[in-house]
Amino acid sequence: MREARFYERLSEGRVKCRLCRHYCVIKPGRRGRCAVRENRDGTLYSLVYGKVIARHVDPIEKKPLFHFFPGSRSYSIATVGCNFRCLHCQNYDISQYPKVHDDIAGEEMTPEDVVGEAERAGCRSISYTYTEPTIFMEFAYDCARLAHDRGIKNVFVSNGYTTAEAAREMAPYLDANNIDLKGDDDFYKNVAGARLQPVLDTIRLMKQLGVWVEVTTLIIPTYNDTEEFLRWVADFIRSVDPAIPWHVTQFYPTYKLLDRPRTPIGILRRAREIGLEAGLKYVYEGNVPGEGGESTYCPSCGALLIERFGFSLRSVTMKSGRCPGCNSTIDGVGMP
């Protein structure tokens, strides 16, 4: 255990967690919505500090981040727990674990262990992913500071529910953040157990703080696949920065959403068209390798710059971050 950050003590031994936008008020002996932050006699503790439940070396494209050191590898870690309860969670076995088990599963690791393994694996970055990294912020922060000192980048793959206070604390050591924009407010309330506005606030704030941002929308048939909603998302992203890449991704049935089919490729293709029509520079189709929507094209002349198949780069024709055809600069960090 480690005493948590971002909380305040209240009367009668209660505490108010200020890590995520749920702002849980927690009585002694109880936990917050994430089920991994517990009030013990008026002190809030993180139960997952150094308790790594998953660790892998992934291509950065898997996050997905397409404009952040393309083709590089990222050492990826997670703890159990999540502050959402998404009915379609792909990693529900670890994200919801502490809500259905008494123990806190995971392998003990220190920040030195994490950064050392990333170095030995030749990874350009460390990704805090698989579950919501906000809920293990204390551990992620210590890892990120050490990684930063050793020249390794840091990445969040997040639901965007971090408080502004915690986001500002993390931002100096956070290089990129892929944030889910899942649906409208009803979707967030009914499917994820959250609200929409905090996510929009985080996307704007991360961009303002100088973190490279990409946005992902998993398109679920009958839930968030209308052209009206997709246009709204595209317009919102453009209002923040038209250079933010938007990943429109295919849903497949999982966890508690088994009664919906896979997203038709035609809907993904139309979503990509909507994004480009709205003025976004880069829109990608995800989970459908080989369909052509994964590659990077020059937004000025349309030239193919990075050809992808799934998470792999097949060819790269851009040079020093520029289109070889029209010499336009291609937005991103560490672009080839």
The mean pLDDT of 144-156, rounded to a whole number, is 98
Query: Confidence band (pLDDT; 50, 70, 90) for 140?
Result: very high
Q: Which residues contact 327 (CB under 8 A, 6 or more apart)?
A: none
Confidence of residue 292 (pLDDT cuts 50, 70, 90): confident
**In the chain, what are the domain boundaries?**
2-46, 51-316
- Alpha helices, DSSP H, located in the chain: 92-95, 97-100, 111-120, 137-149, 164-170, 185-187, 197-208, 227-240, 265-277
Number of CB atoms found within 10 A of residue 152's CB: 21
Q: Whole-angstrom Cα distance, residue 205 to residue 215?
A: 13
Both tokens of 322, joined, read 């520029």
Tens digits of residue pLDDT in 225-246: 999 999 999 999 999 999 999 9
Q: Can you give the pLDDT at residue 119?
A: 98
Find out whether 19 and 135 touch, Cβ atoms under 8 Å.
Answer: yes
pLDDT digits (tens, 9 = 90+) for 23-79: 999 999 999 999 999 999 999 999 999 999 999 999 999 999 999 999 999 999 999
pLDDT in the model for residue 291? 87
pLDDT at 135: 98
Mean pLDDT of 271-291: 96
Query: How does pLDDT run across 65-78, given as a tens digit for each residue?
Result: 999 999 999 999 99
Residue indicated by tokens 């590898």? 73
| pLDDT tens track for 246-269 | 999 999 999 999 999 999 999 999
Tokens 């969670």 belong to residue: 89
**pLDDT greater than 90 at residue 287:** yes
Q: List phi, psi (to 5°) of 92.
A: -60, -25
| Nearest in space to 35 (alpha carbons), one of 88, 85, 74 | 85
Please give the average per-residue pLDDT across 305-316, as a whole number.
96
| Residue 155, beta-bridge partner list | 127, 176
Give pLDDT, residue 299: 98
Assign 298 to helix, strand or coil. coil
The proportion of the chain whose per-residue pLDDT surpasses 90, expressed as a percent, equals 99
Name residue, tokens 């979707």. 187
At 1 the pLDDT is: 86
| Rounded mean pLDDT, 181-209 | 98
325, 298 Cβ separation under 8 angstroms: yes
**How much is the pLDDT for 161?**
98
How many other C-beta atoms can be found within 10 angstroms of the C-beta atom of residue 60? 27
Mean pLDDT on 129-142: 98
Own/partner contacts of 111-120, CB < 8 Å, gap of 24 or more, are 111/139, 111/142, 111/143, 111/145, 111/146, 112/146, 114/52, 114/55, 114/75, 114/77, 114/143, 114/147, 115/143, 115/146, 115/147, 115/150, 115/152, 117/55, 117/75, 118/75, 118/147, 118/152, 119/150, 119/152
Rounded to the nearest integer, the mean pLDDT of the chain is 97
User: Rounded to 5 degrees, what angle do the CA atoms 224, 228, 233 make?
Assistant: 70
Chain position carrying tokens 């997670």: 78
Name 236's Cβ contacts closer than 8 Å, sequence gap at least 6.
181, 200
Q: pTM score > 0.95 for this model?
A: yes
State the CATH class of domain 51-316. Answer: alpha beta
pLDDT at residue number 249: 98
